[in-house]
Amino acid sequence: MDEDDNLSNADISIDEEDDDGDRARAMVQPMVDDDDDDDDSDVDLSSVYVQPAGHVSIGLDNSATGAGEAASARTIGEGSGPAPASVAGARAGNSRSPLHDKYSSATAAASAAGSSGRYGAGSSSAAGAEAGASAAGGTGAAGEDAGAKPSFFFGTSSFSLRSRKEVAALINTECCRGSPTPDLDSIMDTLFNPGTPIDNPDNIEWIRWLIAGGRTPQEFVKIVRSYDNHAKCGLVWVPHVVAYRCRTCGISPCMSICRDCFKKGNHTNHDFNMFLSQAGGACDCGDTSVMKAEGFCSDHGINNRVNRDPVPNNLLAVAEAIMPKLLFRLLQHFREHSDTSLQLHAMTSDSCEEFANMLIDLNNMGEIMRKVMTRTLINHEVYAYFMETPCQDTRNGRFLKANREKYEDAVNRFPNPEPPDEYRDLPALCEKLVHTTLLEEFIFWTFKFEFPQTLVCFLLNMLPDQDYKEHLTRTFVMHYSRIPSVLEMSRDPDTLSNRVVHMSVQLFSNESLALKMVNELSLLHVMIISLKLMMSKILIQNTLQDPAKNFHFVIDCTRQVMKDHCYWPLVSDFNNVLSHESVALVFLRDDNLIDMWFQFLQMLQGMNVNVRETASHVEFEPNSYYAAFSCELEASAYPMWSIISHLQDGTHAHLAKKIINYCVTTLHEWLDSIYFMEARLSMEEMMQASFHFPLHRYLAAFVCQAVTKMGIPLSEVLPSRPYLLPLLMIHPLRVQAAY
C-alpha cells in the first residue's frame, strides 16, 4: 500500500456483487412469531416486511436492475397471513426527529405521530402497538398518522422481491414526504440491531444503498460531490505518512499540508521541508488561521469557492433521517464493550473499523454530507432522545438498557482529577463528566479506549466544519484533565501519546480558538494543573547538599512516567498554545499561572543528582540520565523559548521584569529548601552534581532578552541582594568544574 492508501480520505469503493451468487441464494423461512422481531439480526428485508397472504414463491426480480443490485430473498410458507397486530403495531408509532423536523417539509398532520420514532433504539412501545391496532380499523387523517405502519407490499411486489436500489428509492420517497417513516424505521431496527455485529458487511452495504436513495453508491458520491463547495482541505493522515511544512506560509509552527496541496501550491524559494509524520496530522490548506492565503493550493481557499446550484431537497433526505441511529450504533458498540479489559481495547476498536470507514467515506463526499453528520453529532435533542427514552421489556430493549448502565458505570469509574481546592470550580476540572451530545460521548470513549486510530480519524475528518471544530475543541478541553490518568494506565504510552497529539495539535493550532478556550474554559490552568498532578505523584527527596537538611522534592527520573515520556502530550500542547502571542500574553499577565508554572519548574530543579565514581569505571549511563535531559528540554526549555519569542521589544518590558522577579524569588526559596546558605562546598558536596537547573536558565535567558532586545538596563534586572549572586553561581559552576 502506497502512502496515499494510508490516508483516511479514500473514495467510497463498492465492489459489484456476484450476480450469479445472488441468484443462487434462495432460502426457506418459516413464519416468525412475535418474539422473532427482536431476535432477528439478518439484513434480508423479508424479515422486516411481512408478505401478503397467499404468496407462495419468491424469486429475485432483476428486470429493472443491473448486475450487483440484486438482493437475496426468502420464501414464506403458503397461506401466511399479514403480520400479527403486535408486530405491526410495534412498528407503528413514529415521532419526528429534531433534525428531520428542521430540515424537511413535514406536514402538520405528521406532527401527531406516535411516540416511537426514527431515533428509536430497536424496540417499540405499547402505545405504538395500540396505535397500530387502532389504525387498522379506524378512519380519518389523525388515525392514519397515529397508526402509520410499514407498507408490507407495494402493488404486487413485496420488498423482498426488490433490489437494494428499488428499496432505497421507495425509502427515499417515503423520507421526502416527511414524518412518519415506518418503512425506514423498520429497516433501521434490523440494520442497527445492537445484537448484530457492527462490522456485518451486509448491513454496511445496505446502509450505503439506502443513503444513495435509489442510485448506485458510486453515482450518489459523484452527485453529492458536484455540490461540494468547501474551502479547506482537511485531509487526515495516520503516522508514517509523508507531509510538508512551509515556514514561509505558516502562521502556526505546527502547520502542515498534504502532498497534493503542496504540489498544487506555489512554494518556490520558500523555507519548507518534507517530513515523515510520527503522530499523524491533517492538511491545513485553506485554513487562514493556520497558514497564509498565498500558500493555498489551486483547489482551496475562499477565493476558490464557486457558486454552485442549490442542493435538491430530496438528495440527502435518507441521510438526514438515518444519521442519528447510524452514529448511535457506533456509540452502542463502545458501550457494549466498555467493561472489557485493557488488553481487549484494541480488539474493540478494530472490530468497528469497517463501520467507521463507512462514516469517513460519507464525510469525504463533501461539505453538504459533512453538515448532516456534524449537525447530528452536536444536536442536544438527538442525544436527549436516546438517553431519556425508556427501554422496552424486549430483548433489544433489555440489551440497550444494559448498555446504558455500562456507559453510566464507565463514566463513574473513569479517573477524576484532584485539582487544588481553589480550582475545583473550573468547568474543565469538574469531578464528574456530564455529556449532552453524541460528540461528547464519542470523545469520552476516545479517552476510555486510549484514542483508537479509527475513532480519532473519524472525528478529525470533520474538522473543516468550523462549528463542529469548536464543539470538538470545547469537548476535548472538558476531558483534558483525564489525559494524565489515561497515559499512566496505558500499556503502550508511546503510541497513545502520538494519538493524543494527533488530535490536540489540530485543535490548538488555531489561535482564535485556543484563546477562546483559554478565556472560557481556563485552558492554561487546566494544562498546568494536569502536568503538575502527573509529576507530583513521582516526587522524591532531593539529595543535593546535606540530605538531612534538604526538604526539597524533585521528580524521580527512574519512574516509568519519565522513561515513557508520558508527560510529552501535555507539554507539547502547552508549547503549541504558547506559540500564539495572544495566549502567551494571557499567561504572562496572570500571576496565578506564573506561580503554578514556577512551582512545576521547582520539581525539575536539581533532579537526577550524579555522584562521581572514583573507584571503578562506569560503563553505561543509567536510563534516568536520558530521561532527565529529555524532560527538561521538552517541559522547561521549549515553553521558555516560546514565551521569549513574543518579547522582542520594549512594549512588554514590564512582563519580562515580572518573569525575572519570579525567577529570583523562586530561586531564593529553592536555596532555602536545600539549605544552601554559604557560597562554598565541602569535599563530599563537590563529588555530586546535577545538570538540571531550569530556574537558573530561565533567569539567564530572560535577563539576556531584556537587556539585548528590550533595552532594559542590566542593573534593573539583576538581583538586588548582593549575597544572592554568589549563591546562584555555585551550582552551574560546579557542573563546569566537575565535568
Q: How far apart are CA 257 and CA 235, in angstroms?
A: 9
- Please tell me whether residue 104 adopts helix, strand or coil conformation: coil
Which band of pLDDT confidence, cut at 50, 70 and 90, is reported for residue 119? low
CB 476 within 8 A of CB 456: no
pLDDT at 391: 84
What does the DSSP 8-state code read for residue 309? P
Which band of pLDDT confidence, cut at 50, 70 and 90, is reported for residue 160? low
Segment 490-499 shows an average pLDDT of 91
Phi-psi label, residue 234: left if phi above 0, alpha if psi -120 to 50, beta otherwise? left
CB 87 within 8 A of CB 50: yes
Lowest mean pLDDT among 29-43, 481-495, 593-607, 668-682: 29-43
Q: Which residue has the cell 423461512?
A: 29
Q: Who contacts 7 (Cβ-Cβ below 8 Å, separation ≥6)?
A: 235, 236, 237, 238, 241, 258
Q: Over the stretch 400-453, which tens digit does the pLDDT of each residue have?
A: 899 999 999 999 999 888 899 999 999 999 988 999 999 999 999 999 999 999
Indicate whether 6 pLDDT > 70: no
Lowest mean pLDDT among 5-9, 311-315, 476-480, 676-680: 5-9
Q: How far apart are CA 261 and CA 283, in angstroms?
A: 8
- Please tell me whether residue 596 adopts helix, strand or coil conformation: helix
Indicate whether 15 pLDDT > 60: no
Displacement of CA 570 from its chain's centroid (Å): 16
pLDDT at 181: 87
- Please tell me whether residue 131 adopts helix, strand or coil conformation: helix
CATH topology of domain 231-295: Cysteine Rich Protein (2.10.110)
Which band of pLDDT confidence, cut at 50, 70 and 90, is reported for residue 14? very low
**Residue 211, burial from CB neighbour count under 10 angstroms (0-12, 13-18, 19+):** buried
Residue 656: closest CA among 581, 574, 601, 589: 589
Q: How far apart are CA 171 and CA 104, in angstroms?
A: 15
Domain boundaries, the chain: 231-295, 324-344+362-509, 521-614+621-736
**Residue 316, burial from CB neighbour count under 10 angstroms (0-12, 13-18, 19+):** buried
Question: 63 versus 513: which is more confidently predicted?
Answer: 513
Q: Distances in Å between the alpha carbon of 635 and those of 158, 392, 664, 695?
A: 67, 53, 20, 13
Q: Over the stretch 83-100, which tens digit does the pLDDT of each residue have?
A: 333 333 333 333 334 444
C-alpha cell at 101: 423536523
Q: Over the stretch 613-665, which tens digit does the pLDDT of each residue have?
A: 767 776 777 778 899 999 999 999 999 999 999 999 889 999 999 999 999 99
Q: How far apart are CA 255 and CA 509, in angstroms?
A: 8
Residue 486: closest CA among 445, 428, 437: 445
pLDDT at 346: 80
Q: How far apart are CA 579 and CA 252, in angstroms?
A: 7
Lowest mean pLDDT among 469-478, 640-649, 718-727: 718-727
Considering the chain, what is the average pLDDT of its residues? Answer: 79
- For residue 45, the one-letter residue type is L
pLDDT at 739: 64
Q: Over the stretch 510-569, which tens digit does the pLDDT of each residue have?
A: 999 999 999 999 999 999 999 999 999 999 999 888 778 889 999 999 999 999 999 999
Q: Distances in Å between the alpha carbon of 525 and those of 480, 528, 556?
A: 11, 5, 24
pLDDT at 672: 92
Q: How far apart are CA 197 and CA 333, in angstroms?
A: 9
Indicate whether 123 pLDDT > 50: no
Q: How far apart are CA 27 and CA 545, in angstroms?
A: 85
Lowest mean pLDDT among 101-110, 340-349, 386-395, 610-619: 101-110
CB 530 within 8 A of CB 417: yes
Displacement of CA 656 from its chain's centroid (Å): 37
User: What does pTM read for this prediction?
Assistant: 0.79
What sign results for the dihedral spanned by CA atoms 233, 236, 242, 248? Answer: positive
Q: How far apart are CA 193 and CA 544, in angstroms?
A: 64
Which band of pLDDT confidence, cut at 50, 70 and 90, is reported for residue 56? very low
Q: Over the stretch 243-285, which tens digit does the pLDDT of each residue have?
A: 999 999 998 888 999 999 999 999 999 999 999 998 889 999 9
Report the 3 state secondary structure along 495-513.
Answer: HHHHHHHHHHHHHHCCHHH
Residue 66: closest CA among 165, 208, 173, 212: 165
Q: How far apart are CA 27 and CA 75, in angstroms?
A: 6
Q: How far apart are CA 516 and CA 252, in angstroms?
A: 16
Q: Which residues pair with 539 in a beta bridge?
A: 555
pLDDT at 579: 94
pLDDT at 557: 94
Alpha-carbon dihedral angle through residues 334, 336, 337, 339, given to the nearest 10 degrees: 120
Q: Over the stretch 293-340, which tens digit does the pLDDT of each residue have?
A: 889 998 888 766 666 678 888 899 999 999 999 999 999 999 999 987
Question: 304 versus 174: which is more confidently predicted?
Answer: 174
- Please tell me whether residue 635 adopts helix, strand or coil conformation: helix
pLDDT at 106: 35
Q: Over the stretch 661-693, which tens digit does the pLDDT of each residue have?
A: 999 999 999 999 998 888 777 777 777 889 999
Indicate whether 36 pLDDT > 60: no
Q: How far apart are CA 26 and CA 425, in angstroms?
A: 63
Q: Who contacts 208 (Cβ-Cβ below 8 Å, separation ≥6)?
A: 12, 14, 217, 358
Q: Over the stretch 346-373, which tens digit does the pLDDT of each residue have?
A: 888 889 999 999 999 999 999 999 999 9
Displacement of CA 586 from its chain's centroid (Å): 27
Q: Distances in Å between the alpha carbon of 332 and those of 328, 404, 438?
A: 6, 9, 11
CB 415 within 8 A of CB 480: no
* Start-to-end CA span in the chain (Å): 50
Residues of the chain by 3-state class (helix, strand, coil), percent to 5? 55, 5, 40
CB 68 within 8 A of CB 231: no
Residue 634: closest CA among 725, 565, 553: 565
Which band of pLDDT confidence, cut at 50, 70 and 90, is reported for residue 108? very low
pLDDT at 305: 61
Segment 29-52 shows an average pLDDT of 36
Q: Measure the CA angle with vertex 583, ends 581 and 584; round to 5°.
A: 65
pLDDT at 306: 63
C-alpha cell at 410: 464507565
